[in-house]
């Protein structure tokens, strides 16, 4: 299951953050066109950073509690957690290279 992207929910979110030292969460919704545009990039990055970063997607419509907790008002919003704390946040469908460089900053 190389490059697997986890499904985060209100129910399992805290456990996923706790279990994965470096985690990038894609906050998205099914009706969001930019979210659909960035989805393949998230899957590619999950393969590229396999073994270093865990990737998860959280549907904000189905999981409003977690979205509210992290102040998600625009989607897609990508939040990078390091050791359980928010380390970085990127809003919008940005190029793969931009996301990769932001992730690499937190792996050093």
User: In the chain, where are the structural domains located?
Assistant: 5-105
**Beta strands per DSSP E along 1-108:** 5-8, 22-28, 54-59, 77-82, 85-91
Average the pLDDT over 60-88 and give the result. 97
Averaged confidence pLDDT in the chain: 95
Q: Which residues of 36-68 are buried (b: 16+ CB within 10 A; e: fewer)?
A: eebbebbeebbeebeeebbbbbbbbeebeebbe
Average the pLDDT over 76-95 and give the result. 96
Catalytic residues: 32, 35
Residue 1 has pLDDT above 60, yes or no: no
CATH code 3.40.50.300 for 5-105: no
More confident: 45 or 3:
45
pTM comes to 0.95
Residue 2 has pLDDT above 90, yes or no: no
């Amino acid at each position: 299951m190389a490059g697997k992207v986890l499904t985060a929910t209100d129910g399992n979110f805290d456990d996923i953050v706790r279990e994965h030292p470096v985690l990038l969460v894609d906050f998205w919704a099914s009706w969001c066109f930019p979210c659909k545009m960035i989805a393949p990039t998230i899957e590619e990055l999950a393969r590229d950073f396999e073994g270093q970063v865990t990737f998860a997607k959280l549907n904000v419509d189905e999981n409003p509690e977690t979205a509210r907790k992290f102040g998600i008002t625009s989607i897609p919003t990508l939040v990078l957690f390091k050791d359980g704390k928010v380390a970085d946040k990127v809003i919008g469908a940005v190029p793969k290279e931009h996301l990769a460089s932001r992730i690499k900053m937190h792996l050093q």
